[in-house]
Structure 1
Amino acid sequence: MSTVTSPLAGRAIGLANVPDPVFSGAMVGPGTAIDPVREPSEAVSPIDGVVVSMHPHAFVVVDGEGHGVLTHLGIDTVQLNGEGFELLVNKGDTVTRGQAVVRWNPADVEAAGKSPICPVVALEATADSLSGVREDGDVKAGDQLFDWS
Protein backbone atom coordinates (compact mmCIF):
# COMPACT_ATOMS: atom_id res chain seq x y z
CA MET A 1 0.00 0.00 0.00
CA SER A 2 1.18 3.51 -0.82
CA THR A 3 0.32 6.54 1.26
CA VAL A 4 -0.11 9.74 -0.74
CA THR A 5 0.46 12.96 1.18
CA SER A 6 -0.43 16.56 0.44
CA PRO A 7 2.02 18.45 -1.78
CA LEU A 8 0.68 21.75 -0.41
CA ALA A 9 -0.79 23.51 2.58
CA GLY A 10 -4.42 24.50 2.17
CA ARG A 11 -7.87 22.96 2.38
CA ALA A 12 -8.88 19.56 1.01
CA ILE A 13 -11.96 19.97 -1.20
CA GLY A 14 -12.30 16.67 -3.09
CA LEU A 15 -12.12 16.18 -6.86
CA ALA A 16 -15.85 16.79 -7.38
CA ASN A 17 -15.29 20.46 -6.50
CA VAL A 18 -12.52 21.08 -9.06
CA PRO A 19 -13.65 23.64 -11.68
CA ASP A 20 -12.59 21.37 -14.59
CA PRO A 21 -14.72 18.43 -15.82
CA VAL A 22 -11.67 16.31 -16.65
CA PHE A 23 -10.67 16.32 -12.97
CA SER A 24 -14.11 16.60 -11.31
CA GLY A 25 -15.29 13.64 -13.38
CA ALA A 26 -12.20 11.64 -12.31
CA MET A 27 -11.37 11.02 -15.99
CA VAL A 28 -7.66 11.30 -15.21
CA GLY A 29 -8.07 9.12 -12.11
CA PRO A 30 -9.41 9.22 -8.55
CA GLY A 31 -7.92 11.34 -5.80
CA THR A 32 -8.67 14.65 -4.16
CA ALA A 33 -7.82 18.34 -4.53
CA ILE A 34 -6.29 21.07 -2.42
CA ASP A 35 -7.36 24.71 -2.39
CA PRO A 36 -3.91 26.10 -1.51
CA VAL A 37 -3.02 28.92 0.83
CA ARG A 38 -2.50 32.12 -1.15
CA GLU A 39 1.18 32.72 -0.50
CA PRO A 40 4.45 31.85 -2.22
CA SER A 41 5.19 28.21 -1.52
CA GLU A 42 6.85 25.06 -2.71
CA ALA A 43 4.85 22.11 -3.98
CA VAL A 44 6.46 18.96 -2.58
CA SER A 45 6.45 15.36 -3.74
CA PRO A 46 3.45 13.40 -2.39
CA ILE A 47 5.39 10.09 -2.50
CA ASP A 48 8.92 8.68 -2.77
CA GLY A 49 9.74 7.89 -6.37
CA VAL A 50 10.97 9.04 -9.76
CA VAL A 51 9.75 12.17 -11.55
CA VAL A 52 8.42 10.80 -14.87
CA SER A 53 6.74 13.98 -16.08
CA MET A 54 7.79 17.53 -15.24
CA HIS A 55 6.05 20.70 -16.38
CA PRO A 56 5.90 24.08 -14.62
CA HIS A 57 2.20 23.54 -13.81
CA ALA A 58 2.17 19.78 -13.20
CA PHE A 59 4.34 16.82 -12.27
CA VAL A 60 4.03 13.05 -11.96
CA VAL A 61 6.01 10.92 -9.49
CA VAL A 62 5.96 7.11 -9.76
CA ASP A 63 6.83 4.96 -6.75
CA GLY A 64 8.53 1.55 -6.62
CA GLU A 65 5.14 -0.20 -6.93
CA GLY A 66 4.38 1.60 -10.19
CA HIS A 67 1.85 3.97 -8.63
CA GLY A 68 1.93 7.33 -10.42
CA VAL A 69 0.65 10.44 -8.66
CA LEU A 70 -0.17 13.59 -10.64
CA THR A 71 0.04 16.94 -8.86
CA HIS A 72 -1.54 19.67 -11.00
CA LEU A 73 -0.82 23.22 -9.81
CA GLY A 74 -3.98 25.12 -10.60
CA ILE A 75 -6.49 24.75 -13.42
CA ASP A 76 -5.68 25.84 -16.99
CA THR A 77 -2.28 26.97 -15.70
CA VAL A 78 -0.61 25.47 -18.79
CA GLN A 79 -1.82 28.71 -20.45
CA LEU A 80 0.61 30.68 -18.24
CA ASN A 81 3.50 29.12 -20.21
CA GLY A 82 5.54 28.49 -17.07
CA GLU A 83 5.41 32.10 -15.89
CA GLY A 84 5.49 32.23 -12.09
CA PHE A 85 6.65 28.61 -11.69
CA GLU A 86 10.22 27.61 -10.81
CA LEU A 87 11.22 23.98 -11.32
CA LEU A 88 13.37 22.64 -8.48
CA VAL A 89 13.92 19.11 -9.86
CA ASN A 90 14.15 17.56 -13.32
CA LYS A 91 12.39 14.73 -15.13
CA GLY A 92 14.18 11.50 -14.21
CA ASP A 93 15.20 12.69 -10.74
CA THR A 94 14.54 10.49 -7.73
CA VAL A 95 12.64 12.41 -5.06
CA THR A 96 11.53 11.72 -1.52
CA ARG A 97 8.15 12.50 0.01
CA GLY A 98 8.15 16.13 1.11
CA GLN A 99 10.99 17.19 -1.20
CA ALA A 100 10.33 20.53 -2.92
CA VAL A 101 9.53 20.08 -6.63
CA VAL A 102 8.10 23.41 -7.85
CA ARG A 103 8.11 26.91 -6.34
CA TRP A 104 5.02 29.00 -7.15
CA ASN A 105 2.52 31.50 -5.78
CA PRO A 106 -1.18 30.52 -5.89
CA ALA A 107 -2.14 34.21 -5.43
CA ASP A 108 -0.34 35.07 -8.69
CA VAL A 109 -2.20 32.25 -10.48
CA GLU A 110 -5.49 33.61 -9.18
CA ALA A 111 -4.49 37.17 -10.20
CA ALA A 112 -3.85 35.84 -13.73
CA GLY A 113 -7.49 34.68 -13.87
CA LYS A 114 -6.87 30.96 -13.25
CA SER A 115 -8.05 28.73 -10.43
CA PRO A 116 -5.21 27.84 -8.03
CA ILE A 117 -6.98 24.60 -6.99
CA CYS A 118 -4.60 21.62 -7.18
CA PRO A 119 -5.86 18.14 -8.07
CA VAL A 120 -3.78 15.28 -6.62
CA VAL A 121 -4.65 12.23 -8.70
CA ALA A 122 -3.81 8.51 -8.58
CA LEU A 123 -3.11 7.72 -12.24
CA GLU A 124 -4.46 4.49 -13.72
CA ALA A 125 -6.19 3.70 -10.43
CA THR A 126 -9.76 2.76 -9.63
CA ALA A 127 -11.78 4.60 -7.00
CA ASP A 128 -12.07 1.42 -4.92
CA SER A 129 -8.26 1.08 -4.74
CA LEU A 130 -8.09 4.29 -2.68
CA SER A 131 -9.05 4.53 0.97
CA GLY A 132 -9.21 7.30 3.54
CA VAL A 133 -9.51 10.01 0.88
CA ARG A 134 -9.45 13.50 2.45
CA GLU A 135 -12.17 15.66 0.93
CA ASP A 136 -12.43 18.41 3.53
CA GLY A 137 -10.51 20.14 6.28
CA ASP A 138 -7.24 22.00 6.49
CA VAL A 139 -4.08 20.16 5.46
CA LYS A 140 -0.40 20.90 5.74
CA ALA A 141 2.17 19.74 3.21
CA GLY A 142 2.94 16.15 4.18
CA ASP A 143 -0.48 15.36 5.70
CA GLN A 144 -2.02 12.11 4.48
CA LEU A 145 -4.49 12.53 1.58
CA PHE A 146 -5.26 8.88 0.79
CA ASP A 147 -3.92 5.32 0.79
CA TRP A 148 -3.56 3.41 -2.48
CA SER A 149 -3.64 -0.39 -2.43
Structure 2
Amino acid sequence: MTTVLAPVEGEAVGLAAVPDPVFSAGMVGPGTAIDPLRGPGEALAPIAGKIMKLHPHAYVIVGDDGKGVLVHLGIDTVQLKGEGFELLASEGDRVAAGQPVVAWDPAVVEAGGRSPVCPVVALDALSGAVTGVTLGAVHAGDQLFEWA
Protein backbone atom coordinates (compact mmCIF):
# COMPACT_ATOMS: atom_id res chain seq x y z
CA MET A 1 0.00 0.00 0.00
CA THR A 2 1.39 3.39 -1.01
CA THR A 3 0.26 6.48 0.89
CA VAL A 4 0.11 9.51 -1.41
CA LEU A 5 0.50 12.90 0.30
CA ALA A 6 -1.04 16.23 -0.69
CA PRO A 7 1.64 18.20 -2.59
CA VAL A 8 -0.04 21.56 -1.90
CA GLU A 9 -2.38 23.12 0.65
CA GLY A 10 -5.95 23.82 -0.37
CA GLU A 11 -9.27 22.07 -0.97
CA ALA A 12 -9.30 18.48 -2.27
CA VAL A 13 -12.06 18.58 -4.90
CA GLY A 14 -11.76 15.32 -6.88
CA LEU A 15 -10.71 14.80 -10.50
CA ALA A 16 -14.20 15.54 -11.85
CA ALA A 17 -13.65 19.19 -10.82
CA VAL A 18 -10.58 19.57 -13.06
CA PRO A 19 -11.36 21.82 -16.06
CA ASP A 20 -9.56 19.47 -18.45
CA PRO A 21 -11.33 16.45 -19.98
CA VAL A 22 -8.24 14.23 -19.97
CA PHE A 23 -7.84 14.59 -16.19
CA SER A 24 -11.52 14.87 -15.23
CA ALA A 25 -12.40 11.64 -17.08
CA GLY A 26 -9.55 9.82 -15.34
CA MET A 27 -7.77 9.06 -18.63
CA VAL A 28 -4.37 9.81 -17.07
CA GLY A 29 -5.22 7.63 -14.08
CA PRO A 30 -7.22 7.69 -10.85
CA GLY A 31 -6.51 10.16 -8.08
CA THR A 32 -7.86 13.52 -7.02
CA ALA A 33 -7.21 17.23 -7.41
CA ILE A 34 -6.51 20.10 -5.06
CA ASP A 35 -7.74 23.66 -5.54
CA PRO A 36 -4.70 25.35 -3.96
CA LEU A 37 -4.55 28.30 -1.61
CA ARG A 38 -3.80 31.46 -3.59
CA GLY A 39 -0.36 32.69 -2.71
CA PRO A 40 3.28 31.72 -3.02
CA GLY A 41 4.14 28.24 -1.84
CA GLU A 42 5.96 25.01 -2.51
CA ALA A 43 4.69 21.84 -4.14
CA LEU A 44 5.93 18.75 -2.30
CA ALA A 45 6.81 15.20 -3.31
CA PRO A 46 3.64 13.11 -2.78
CA ILE A 47 5.70 9.92 -2.28
CA ALA A 48 9.34 9.00 -1.67
CA GLY A 49 11.19 8.00 -4.82
CA LYS A 50 13.01 9.26 -7.87
CA ILE A 51 11.96 12.29 -9.92
CA MET A 52 11.54 10.71 -13.36
CA LYS A 53 10.09 13.77 -15.11
CA LEU A 54 10.41 17.36 -13.95
CA HIS A 55 8.94 20.36 -15.73
CA PRO A 56 8.29 23.66 -13.98
CA HIS A 57 4.53 22.97 -14.07
CA ALA A 58 4.45 19.19 -13.52
CA TYR A 59 6.47 16.30 -12.15
CA VAL A 60 6.39 12.52 -11.84
CA ILE A 61 7.91 10.69 -8.89
CA VAL A 62 8.31 6.91 -9.07
CA GLY A 63 8.66 4.97 -5.84
CA ASP A 64 10.89 1.94 -5.29
CA ASP A 65 7.79 -0.24 -5.88
CA GLY A 66 7.48 1.16 -9.43
CA LYS A 67 4.38 3.25 -8.72
CA GLY A 68 4.47 6.69 -10.33
CA VAL A 69 2.55 9.73 -9.14
CA LEU A 70 1.98 12.77 -11.37
CA VAL A 71 1.52 16.21 -9.84
CA HIS A 72 0.30 18.82 -12.34
CA LEU A 73 0.44 22.41 -11.06
CA GLY A 74 -2.55 24.04 -12.68
CA ILE A 75 -4.18 23.46 -16.06
CA ASP A 76 -2.60 24.64 -19.35
CA THR A 77 0.36 25.90 -17.30
CA VAL A 78 2.78 24.41 -19.86
CA GLN A 79 1.93 27.56 -21.87
CA LEU A 80 3.68 29.66 -19.20
CA LYS A 81 7.03 28.16 -20.29
CA GLY A 82 8.22 28.00 -16.67
CA GLU A 83 7.33 31.59 -15.79
CA GLY A 84 6.21 31.80 -12.16
CA PHE A 85 7.74 28.43 -11.26
CA GLU A 86 11.09 27.69 -9.62
CA LEU A 87 12.57 24.20 -9.57
CA LEU A 88 13.77 23.16 -6.11
CA ALA A 89 15.00 19.73 -7.23
CA SER A 90 16.38 18.12 -10.39
CA GLU A 91 15.20 15.31 -12.66
CA GLY A 92 16.82 12.12 -11.42
CA ASP A 93 16.98 13.26 -7.78
CA ARG A 94 15.78 10.93 -5.02
CA VAL A 95 13.30 12.71 -2.78
CA ALA A 96 11.58 11.99 0.51
CA ALA A 97 7.80 12.19 0.74
CA GLY A 98 6.97 15.79 1.66
CA GLN A 99 10.20 17.25 0.24
CA PRO A 100 9.73 20.52 -1.73
CA VAL A 101 10.06 20.03 -5.51
CA VAL A 102 8.73 23.26 -7.11
CA ALA A 103 8.02 26.77 -5.79
CA TRP A 104 5.07 28.53 -7.45
CA ASP A 105 2.23 30.97 -6.93
CA PRO A 106 -1.29 29.74 -7.82
CA ALA A 107 -2.56 33.36 -7.77
CA VAL A 108 -0.21 34.21 -10.66
CA VAL A 109 -1.46 31.19 -12.63
CA GLU A 110 -5.07 32.28 -12.03
CA ALA A 111 -4.31 35.92 -12.89
CA GLY A 112 -3.11 34.68 -16.29
CA GLY A 113 -6.56 33.18 -16.97
CA ARG A 114 -5.64 29.56 -16.18
CA SER A 115 -6.99 27.22 -13.53
CA PRO A 116 -4.53 26.63 -10.66
CA VAL A 117 -6.25 23.31 -9.79
CA CYS A 118 -3.65 20.57 -9.25
CA PRO A 119 -4.42 17.00 -10.36
CA VAL A 120 -2.56 14.33 -8.33
CA VAL A 121 -2.73 11.09 -10.30
CA ALA A 122 -1.70 7.47 -9.75
CA LEU A 123 -0.17 6.69 -13.17
CA ASP A 124 -1.08 3.36 -14.81
CA ALA A 125 -3.24 2.41 -11.81
CA LEU A 126 -6.46 0.46 -12.10
CA SER A 127 -9.53 2.49 -11.17
CA GLY A 128 -10.21 0.52 -7.98
CA ALA A 129 -6.60 0.69 -6.79
CA VAL A 130 -6.98 4.18 -5.29
CA THR A 131 -8.94 4.32 -2.03
CA GLY A 132 -9.50 6.61 0.93
CA VAL A 133 -9.49 9.74 -1.21
CA THR A 134 -9.61 12.85 0.97
CA LEU A 135 -12.13 15.58 0.20
CA GLY A 136 -12.13 19.06 1.72
CA ALA A 137 -9.36 21.05 3.34
CA VAL A 138 -5.85 19.57 3.18
CA HIS A 139 -2.45 20.80 4.25
CA ALA A 140 0.62 20.02 2.17
CA GLY A 141 1.95 16.70 3.46
CA ASP A 142 -1.45 15.37 4.64
CA GLN A 143 -2.55 11.93 3.43
CA LEU A 144 -4.45 12.40 0.15
CA PHE A 145 -5.19 8.80 -0.86
CA GLU A 146 -3.98 5.19 -0.60
CA TRP A 147 -2.79 3.19 -3.62
CA ALA A 148 -3.06 -0.60 -3.32
Task: Specify if TM > 0.5.
Answer: yes
Q: SS of 1:59's equivalent?
A: strand
What TM-score does the superposition give when structure 1 sets the normalisation length? 0.98
Aligned to 1:48: 48
Task: Give unpaired runs (5+ residues) of structure 2.
Answer: none
- 2:138 maps to 1:139: yes
* Displacement after TM superposition at 1:126 (Å): 1.0
Match of 2:122, SS state, is strand
Which secondary structure state, in structure 2, belongs to the residue aligned with residue 146 of structure 1? strand
Instruction: Provide runs of 4+ in structure 1 moved above 3 Å.
Output: none
Q: Distance in 2 between matches of 1:22 and 1:129?
A: 19
By how many angstroms is 1:2 displaced? 0.4
Task: Please tell me whether residue 16 in structure 1 is matched to residue 8 in structure 2.
Answer: no
Query: What is the correspondence of 1:122-137 to structure 2 with a 5 Å cutoff?
Result: 122-134=122-134, 136-137=135-136
Identity %: 63
Q: Matched residues in 1 for 2:127 and 2:3: separation?
A: 15
The equivalent of 1:77 in structure 2 is 77
Q: Distance in 2 between matches of 1:10 and 1:130?
A: 20
Q: Which amino acid letter does the alignment assign opposite residue 33 of structure 1?
A: A
> What is the CA-CA distance between 1:36 and the residue it aligns to?
0.2
Q: What is the number of equivalent residue pairs in this alignment?
A: 148
- Give the equivalent residue in structure 1 for 2:104: 104
* SS at 2:109 equivalent: helix
In the TM superposition, residue 130 of structure 1 has moved relative to its aligned partner by 1.0
Gaps of 5+ in 1: none
How far 1:110 moved relative to its partner? 0.2
Secondary structure of 2:90's partner? Answer: coil
Once the two structures are TM-superposed, the CA of residue 9 in structure 1 deviates from its matched residue by 0.3
User: CA offset at residue 127 of structure 1?
Assistant: 1.4
> Where does residue 31 of structure 1 map in the other structure?
31
CA distance in 1, matches of 2:29, 2:44: 20
CA positional deviation for 1:108: 0.2
1:2 is matched with 2
Counterpart secondary structure, 2:113: coil
* Partners of 1:133 and 1:125 in 2: CA distance: 14
TM-score normalised by structure 2 residue count: 0.99
